Structure 1
Amino acid sequence: MSRYARITGTGSCLPPRQLSNADMVELLAQRQIETSDEWIVERTGIRSRHFVDDGVFASDLGVQAARQALKAAGVDAADIDLIIVATSTPDMVFPSTAAIIQHKLGVAGCPVFDVQAVCSGFIYALTVADAMIKAGTATRALVIGAEVFSRLLDFNDRTTCVLFGDGAGAVVLEVSDTPGILATDIHADGKHVGILCVPGHVSGGQILGDPLLKMDGQAVFKLAVGVLEDAARAVLAKAGRTEADIDWLIPHQANIRIMAGTARKLKLPMDKVVVTVDRHGNTSAASIPLALDHAVRAGQVKPGQTLLLEGVGGGFTWGAVLVDF
């Protein structure tokens, strides 16, 4: 029997504190930095985002999203034999956030690890989990994207601090004799490290370098649309499908202009694109599973539909996954 991996449950978690653009304008005004709701919306499509409170970590958001996904799939945490967490904002240097989530779920024994590919992290993690299920080393995986990007933001830089938010999304991936994940395609080009990074690290009890997010927005935009189109066409070719087979495009929720540009290149109308960036901002590795869960619970995404998931992130990393849901 052929082994395939299918998504059987989705879940998500947003911290309760929501900041509108007006809240961000007020916050930046305290630092004598000017911005406006119009400026933010025009350039990004973002109207609000969620920030964690002090003492809340990526694992706290991730475990709530995981519990929702487990409930939706109708399985217990003890049934999971693989946990992969995509995050760039782990609770600790080590151990992995996946290990912390495993403990918070009250289970032990199965392999757990984090994947660090920034905003492409969920695509990378889903690709790894799919491969492990197909290889027979896992039968039921929990794949989570969880981020607390608010702690990396430079609130003296209006071009970046208005973009990001906190949240988590999760899926349960189970072995099946019918295809679910149809094809995956992941890539990276390290020469672009400098266009999106947090150039700091811990050494000898001190932070060396700059621990706040830096981004060359124009460079990221130019790269993103091209590589997203390439990855989308690659997974369609691998699966023997065409753009006409896509029911929903669920992209990384970075910027509405990047999302619209990708949709145009694939000849998809915007009413086939799941959009949550306006309410959530850019939640990095959490954005795709968050958007997926939102669309499932809103009744947009239905069983039997074909979904194209794709993302780009610092590294520079990018990739896509084609799914029969």
Structure 2
Amino acid sequence: MTAAVVTGVGGWVPPRVVTNAEVAARLDTTEEWIATRTGVRTRHWVEPGTSTVDMAVMAGERALKSAGVTEVGAVVLATTTPDRLCPASAPEVAARLGLGPVAAFDVGAVCAGFVYALAVSAGLIGARVAESVLVIGADTFSSILDPTDRGTAMIFGDGAGAFVLRAGDCAELGALGPFDLGSDGELADLIMIPGGGSRDPAPETSDRYFAMQGKATFQHAVRRMATSSQAVLEARGWRADDVDWLVGHQANRRILDALADAVDLPRERLISNIDRVGNTSAASIPLAIADALAPDPTSSGGPLAPGDNVLLTAFGGGLAWGSTALRWPAVGQA
């Protein structure tokens, strides 16, 4: 049975670092309160003129270099912040990367977008529509945040992360699967941008901002990611003890800790970079992995090693959630 195998990883964040001190001054709070509540100490925001496509291209270039390839059969971009409502952003990303007239489209599942995009890409490979796929998660959340909203302005950052997938064998290192995906549209109002779509194409200023009901979102995020993770573990034939690393959507440090507890994993097995980059939505899982692979000046490298059992899980607006697993291949970030 044909599997989608991870063969390249890349990540990119804009150079501008936004500290808790800068955010706290605007929200009438303290640096430590933000860090304690969210786990975030810094995040990266784009400068004017930098867009989601720009970041996606940077991450895509690095992933292609990591994979040692210059061509793929398709590009799938997970994003909530496309450069325009129409057309999709993925074709422009493909063109700027010099990939030619390949299939290219966007996936919208908010913070669960990258796992959804991986599943879609695995389907393309399994159906032999494409022999390889560049999968990117990229979001410019600073463009949709209300700077006065304490519930969102302190959490989110901008960034992009990418995987290159190729057709391979299910027994290979890097083979993704199985997948577990789910949604609950009855709770769409927990995470949303009220205006800007066909229901309200000309919103008031406040309605164009991202809004989230934090307490309810916390509860659903932990429960849905834990249940989805357990479904993947059971289908894969793994126990919790078999998991070397859990890479959850970097929503909030307290959510990540509660997720590890719910899956019965030591918190030390969490891969997390939320303290440095914040919640980067669809980019968070590939960015966390890219950071884990990046050379560290104080050590010989990141925690991921070939053969490690890795569980990926995410939760976002929709509501939408999803999980998958793999044994890490001999792949590093370029």
Query: Could you say which TM-score interval applies, normalised by the shorter chain?
Result: over 0.9
Change (3 A) 1:60 1:47: same
Rounded to whole Å, the distance in 1 between the matches of 2:238 and 2:268 is 20
Rounded to whole Å, the distance in 2 between the matches of 1:225 and 1:191 is 18
The normalised TM-score by structure 1 is: 0.94
Is residue 2:26 matched to residue 1:17? no
Does the aligned pair in 2 maintain the 1:89–1:147 contact within 8 Å? Answer: yes
Rounded to whole Å, the distance in 1 between the matches of 2:130 and 2:137 is 19
The Cα shift of 1:299 comes to 2.3
Correspondences of 1:1-325 after superposition (within 5 Å): 2-26=1-25, 28=26, 33-76=27-70, 79-177=71-169, 178-179=171-172, 180-201=175-196, 207-209=202-204, 210-297=207-294, 298-325=301-328
176-185 or 209-218: bigger deviation: 176-185
Rounded to whole Å, the distance in 2 between the matches of 1:54 and 1:154 is 16
Give aligned pairs, total.
Answer: 317
Amino acid at match of 1:60: D
Rounded to whole Å, the distance in 2 between the matches of 1:267 and 1:130 is 28
Rounded to whole Å, the distance in 2 between the matches of 1:202 and 1:172 is 32
Rounded to whole Å, the distance in 2 between the matches of 1:206 and 1:188 is 25
CA-to-aligned-CA distance 1:204-246 (integer Å, 9 cap, x gap): x963251001111000001111111100011111111111111
Rounded to whole Å, the distance in 2 between the matches of 1:118 and 1:182 is 21
Does the aligned pair in 2 maintain the 1:182–1:324 contact within 8 Å? Answer: no
The Cα shift of 1:202 comes to 5.6
Runs of 4+ in 1 over 3 A off after TM superposition: none
- Look up the SS of the partner of 1:11 in the other structure: strand
Rounded to whole Å, the distance in 2 between the matches of 1:10 and 1:221 is 29
Rounded to whole Å, the distance in 2 between the matches of 1:290 and 1:17 is 16
The Cα shift of 1:152 comes to 0.6
Structure 2: give runs of 5+ residues left out of the alignment: 295-300, 329-334
| RMSD of Structure 2 on Structure 1 (CA) | 1.5
Does the aligned pair in 2 maintain the 1:83–1:110 contact within 8 Å? Answer: yes
The normalised TM-score by structure 2 is: 0.92
Amino acid at match of 1:311: A
Amino acid at match of 2:306: P
Structure 1: give runs of 5+ residues left out of the alignment: none
The Cα shift of 1:135 comes to 1.8
Does the aligned pair in 1 maintain the 2:195–2:201 contact within 8 Å? Answer: no
Does the aligned pair in 1 maintain the 2:152–2:212 contact within 8 Å? Answer: yes
Amino acid at match of 2:135: V
- Look up the SS of the partner of 2:203 in the other structure: strand
Change (3 A) 1:92 1:229: same
The Cα shift of 1:182 comes to 2.5
Amino acid at match of 2:24: V
Amino acid at match of 2:202: I
Rounded to whole Å, the distance in 1 between the matches of 2:154 and 2:274 is 12
CA-to-aligned-CA distance 1:278-312 (integer Å, 9 cap, x gap): 01110000000100111122421122111111110
Q: Percent identity?
A: 41
Rounded to whole Å, the distance in 1 between the matches of 2:266 and 2:31 is 26
